[in-house]
Structure 1
Amino acid sequence: MGIVPECFITEIVEKDLREGRYEKLRTRFPPEPNGYLHIGHARSIVLNFGLAQDFGGECNLRYDDTNPETEKEEYARAIEEDVRWLGFTPDRVLYASDYFEKMYECALVLIREGKAYVDDLPEEEMSRLRAEGKPSPYRDRSVEENLELFQRMAQGEFPTGSRVLRAKIDPTHPNFKLRDPVLYRIVHAPHYHAGDRWVVYPMYDYAHPLEDFIEGVSHSLCTLEFENNRAIYDWVIENLKGKCGLPESPRPYQYEFARLDLSHTVLSKRKLIRLVEGGYVSDWDDPRLPTLRALRRRGVRPEAIREFVRRTGISRNEALIEMELLEEVVRDDLNPIAPRVLGVLDPLKVVLTNYDGEEWVQAPYWPRDIPKEGARPLPFSSELYIERSDFSLTPPKGWKRLAPGQRVRLRHAYVIELEDVVEENGAVKLLKARVVPGTLGANPEEGPKPKGVIHWVSAHHALPVEFRLYNRLFLTKDPEEGGDFLRNLNPLALEVRRGFVEPSVLQDPKDTRYQLERLGYFWQDPVDSRPEALVMNRIVPLKEGYRA
């Protein structure tokens, strides 16, 4: 099975290669370095790099860096790191800004051929005339005047936004994108990669096809929002192929696929920036966010993200993907690799009245349905912590945890039964219980069998932990429901608990993912956790209803 699931794009690639349209498949992942990548970008990354691997081709990481006002070196470096973390190695790392000289030469060719002109209209007036299908009063400038003005624009003689270079196509075209689109604008701002060399910068619709053509891209893959832009893509290539040093053929073609849209979150850079800059989250790697850096810090593995893309498929049908599917994929990825250990999120102390001293029991890391070997010594003592929610003074019908007159087994250890409840100010402060003799590792031979099994840790040995429980960032599937998306933020997207975990975790590599039995999948936070002050992130909860 290939990295990319069989879809309409793989069929196109197979046909093109079979018929000899291209000698080799060449794709590119072309992010704009104006923010951090999110899980929506993972579909494009897996598609472009995966196709190259599946068909023995090449895939470049190419920064579409044509806007000096929003782009940063910080974002560019983070993008490459995220791509490599996902498991892909670019054949080349390229910059659109390295082609600015070539793009400028091509713009001069279009002007000389009467296919581009300089427009002085204010942006609002230009937008109005385009909407009405009317030409600009500057459309009929002579070639000589347009050449002079554009060269003066490039020399920095005019202020930002005062003039643009437009393609001379058709002001009444039914495809709005072809109504004399803007090719260049003036921006007096330094570029993070190109420096101060330029004050005219190409627009995406002009730059992107040229970048692909220069690099020898065969299949230019983008999301459906650029479907109407394909007409400009083709116009630029058809009018410049064989000119300004560009080949006559083969030329690239654009194909569109549906973007990845996920419930209970936002996949818009603009909205993500509002969350970060507004202080609603701590930073771009806050595990509540859908950025790849945030998912990485939360503990999600790249294998899970690649599998999520594979399961959701590649098509032209736009659909909202439920967060439950991502959670299911993450659980499926972690289940066979996460050793089982014991931890308590909301501790309630239990004192065993008939047990003195301590002992260490051998506890397996893996359940019976996972054929792996491995165990660790688990300390047992006269004082334990159990989960507060595992006890009830007035249990409902069917209760399978600790309660008056009801025995439970401590996972890997003894059966206990309640003797007394110590309360303070109306709240349960402490439980007193007794060990049922002869029940270590087996059901009691006599008397009632335990109703259920609960987890625990030794109060004498357990390590204190700050547990961070990450939930969905928004309360609604569609955060825009009801207006401003910030109004639907989930106030419980992060819950912090002070609990304990068994001491064996300190002997493991810091990046070990665990299943805390009956609680979920966790790992140590890679930024804040230290051996003397453990912090553990919940990567994903267990499947609903899994806990006994």
Structure 2
Amino acid sequence: MDEDLRERVRREAEVDALYNALKHGSDAQVGALMGPMMGENPEFREHGDEVPGVVAPVVEDVNALSTEEKRERLEELAPERLAELDAEDEGEEHPLPDLPNVEEYDEVRMRCAPNPNGPWHIGHARMPAVIGSYKERYDGWMLVRFDDTDPETKRPLDWVYDQVLEDVAYLGFEPDEVITASDRLDTYYEYARDLIEMDGAYTCSCPAEEFSELKNSGEACPHREKDTETVLSEFESMVDGEYDSGEMVLRVKTDITHKNPALRDFVAFRIIDTPHPRPEAEDYRCWPMLDFQSGIDDHLTGVTHIIRGIDLQDSAKRQGFVYDYFGWEYPEVVHWGHVQVDEYDVKMSTSTIREKIEAGEFDGWDDPRVPTLLSTKRRGIQGEAIVDAMVELGTSTSDVDLAMSSVYANNRDRIDDESPRCFFVSDGVELPISGGPDSAHPPVHPEHEERGERDIPVGDAVLVEEDDLPEPGEKLWLKGYGPVAYDGDALTVTDDDIDLVREQDVDVVQWVPADESVPVRMRTPDGDVSGRAEPGLAEYDADQTLQFVRVGFVRVDYVAQRATEQSSGDKPRDRHEDEESVVYYAHP
């Protein structure tokens, strides 16, 4: 990042931090600033790893100001933002806009409706994040409904039902009720029969291409005027599985001359020969289309507010015809744009991810290169960090971008204080070292002296990253150990003090002992990195988050068993050569 761009980041961060601190009457948070700032300044995104480091000291300086000083500074930098603050009504502010007409309902009831054809990717998290947040805000009710009525093109995976509920819990929410559409076929059949008796639906055996031509020209299907008894009989034959796929459908009568051809006499039920993977539903062949099934379920479960993509506006209109037949009141609808997530190379699509896993390009749904919640969880990213970033995007009808750097900033705020420090070296150069103490004792956490120190044996040689080595004849500061001179082949401890770093711009670098260090494989979104960590890593349990100094935060996934062998002395010495430990990289 060049200095001009760095200065722009500082200026934007200062204005946003001042505004947020004054608006909420509390300290500004780096994580809360990142999403909106990245969204409004796309040119910042390619420097996402650097931006939080530029923003953090700015936020710290802002938080040190008094309220009056903050107001004066904001008026100096962005008087229009201060005017905006002063014009706002008093009262509690929410990142999300008010839901429409909530005062007309005894309870706000909302639903997430996942298709269990694969575990959730990060984009899917927006729905439960926003609905769960509205539930908390309005003391409302939340349903998880599995829309699994397409056993062919969106074939469910049996393990995904439980996984989605685990993902909801990972994001910090608990549904009030869980239902599965494939358990409710008989209910949908009953409402279809009622609709037929109202002359609101008819069975149609037109080939798809033939009906499409009629529909597009505004001409009625020749089957549209069948008598009710015939339609009921043919629908029962559909239910009994007497037709082949594509041979017969049930259509809802709408307006065959409607200006939008997509709304003309749409399909409510069709035949699918592929058995459903759930044993409870494998014998069914007559399956409802999503618009019919979802509309019926929304009414029966008392849903008051629906959030759906702007591309699904026709769904609400199709369902509106069914609601009109039954005399029901349609729920309030909020349409929003798509969310795009940066950083990942793979398309944010369940089917695409599934294909790449099956082709062996990824290890599984929790591969760190895959944009799934299984992956972010394994990397040590807390669900609440994703929720906060999603909520900050609001519910705009425009497409929005989620910068993963905002998720990382949120997560950093949550785990930094609880993450012990640890040294890790990749591409290490082994160098003899002499003239200093036998061990180093850096703090477990630099901001918490009470947590004690790490004991790192130095031995006869250390590993230092090749890129960190100075020119021969220059010096280094081994972090937590002290100053050393480098002659091109070895390191020698010197008696310099910290002014060496402050005044001579000597680098402070991480290192590990050559003999006692632990082999580690660090799994990252860019591929695996092999290296070695200080021996204390072997003492941590799986799921512990650590900060690899100057590298980033990681989650311990697996710790190799420590074997021992007899040394030349009396005590056995630890060996870590047999198997490597594994950590997952979270973020800088």
The reply to whether residue 387 of structure 1 matches residue 491 of structure 2 is: no
Q: CA deviation at 1:169?
A: 0.7
Question: Given residue 435 of structure 1, which amino acid in structure 2 is its aligned partner?
Answer: V
Match of 2:494 in 1: 436
Distance 2:126 2:257 in 1: 36
Q: Does 1:200 align with 2:286?
A: yes
Is 2:313–2:335's contact at 8 Å kept on the other side of the alignment? Answer: yes
Q: Secondary structure at the match of 2:196?
A: helix
The reply to whether residue 367 of structure 1 matches residue 446 of structure 2 is yes
> How far, CA to CA, are the matches of 1:519 and 1:284 in structure 2?
25
Relative to structure 2, which stretch is displaced further, 302-311 or 129-138?
A: 129-138
Which stretch of the first structure deviates more once superposed, 45-54 or 531-540?
A: 531-540
AA in 1 matched with 2:319: Y
Structure 2 unaligned blocks of 5 or more: 1-23, 25-90, 563-578
Report the equivalent of 1:233: 319
Q: How do 1:149-168 and structure 2 match up within 5 A?
A: 149-168=234-253
Structure 1 residue 345 and structure 2 residue 377: aligned?
Answer: no
Decide whether aligned partners of structure 1 residues 43 and 115 sit closer, same or farther in structure 2, where only a CA change above 3 A counts.
same
Cα distance in 2, alignment partners of residues 319 and 186 from structure 1: 38
> How far off its partner does 1:292 sit?
0.7
Q: In the alignment, residue 437 of structure 1 is paired with which amino acid?
A: D
- Once the two structures are superposed, the pairs formed by residues 146-185 of structure 1 within 5 Å of their partners are 146-185=231-270
How has the CA–CA distance of structure 1 residues 190 and 4 changed in structure 2, closer, same or farther, with 3 Å as cutoff? Answer: farther
Partner of 1:457: 512
Q: C-alpha displacement at 1:449, in angstroms?
A: 5.0
> Is 1:220–2:306 an aligned residue pair?
yes
Shift of 1:386: 0.6
Contact 1:108 1:147 in 2 (8 A): yes
Q: How far does residue 30 in structure 1 lie from its aligned partner after superposition?
A: 0.8
2:234 alignment partner, SS class = helix
Verify the 8 A CA contact 1:103 1:210 in the aligned structure 2. yes
Distance 1:212 1:337, change over 3 A: same
Deviation at 1:160, TM superposition (A): 1.6
Separation in 1 of the partners of 2:381 and 2:134?
Answer: 24
Q: CA 1:3/1:188 → structure 2, altered by over 3 Å: closer, same or farther?
A: farther
Partner residue, 1:51: 134
Deviation of the 1:210 alpha carbon:
0.7
Q: Give 1:32-71 correspondences, 5 Å limit.
A: 32-69=115-152, 70-71=155-156
Q: After TM superposition, give the deviation of residue 538 of structure 1 in Å.
A: 1.6
CA contact (8 A) 1:3 1:310 kept: no
Q: Does 2:231 align with 1:125? A: no
* Aligned counterparts of 1:23 and 1:296: Cα–Cα separation in 2: 36
Shift of 1:104: 0.8
SS of aligned partner of 2:515: coil
Superposition CA RMSD, Å: 2.7
Alignment of 1:538 with 2:570, yes or no, is no
Aligned length: 478
Return the alpha-carbon distance in structure 1 between the equivalents of residues 449 and 266 of structure 2.
62
Q: CA 1:84–1:444 in 2, change beyond 3 Å: closer, same or farther? A: closer
Retained in 2: the 8 A contact 1:43–1:259?
no
Q: What SS is found at the alignment partner of 1:188? A: coil
Q: CA deviation at 1:189?
A: 3.4
Match of 2:525 among 458, 470, 483: 470
Sequence identity percentage: 28
The correspondence of residues 97-116 of structure 1 with structure 2, limited to 5 A, is 97-116=182-201
SS in 1 for 2:273: coil
1:7 aligns with 2:96: yes
1:335 equivalent in structure 2:
416
Does the residue aligned with 1:465 lie in a helix, a strand or coil?
Answer: strand
Letter in 2 for 1:102: T
Structure 1: runs of 5 or more not aligned: 242-247, 392-401, 422-430, 472-493, 543-548
Instruction: Assess if the C-alpha contact under 8 Å between 2:500 and 2:506 holds in 1.
Output: no
1:323 Cα deviation after fit = 4.0
Report Cα offsets for 1:20-55 as digits up to 9, x if no partner.
x21111111110111111111111011122211221
Mean CA deviation greater in 504-513 or 160-169: 504-513
Note if 1:378 corresponds to 2:459. no
State the 1:137 CA deviation: 2.3
Local SS of the residue matching 2:521: strand
Q: 1:94 aligns with which of 152, 174, 179?
A: 179
SS at match of 1:61: strand
Query: Which structure has the highest helix share of the two?
Result: 2
TM-score in terms of structure 1 length: 0.81
TM-score (structure 2 length as normaliser): 0.76
Partner SS state of residue 293, structure 1? helix
C-alpha distance in 1 between matches for 2:414 and 2:288: 43
What's the secondary structure of 1:97's corresponding residue? Answer: helix
Aligned to 1:504: 536
2:267 and 2:515 mapped to 1: Cα distance? 71
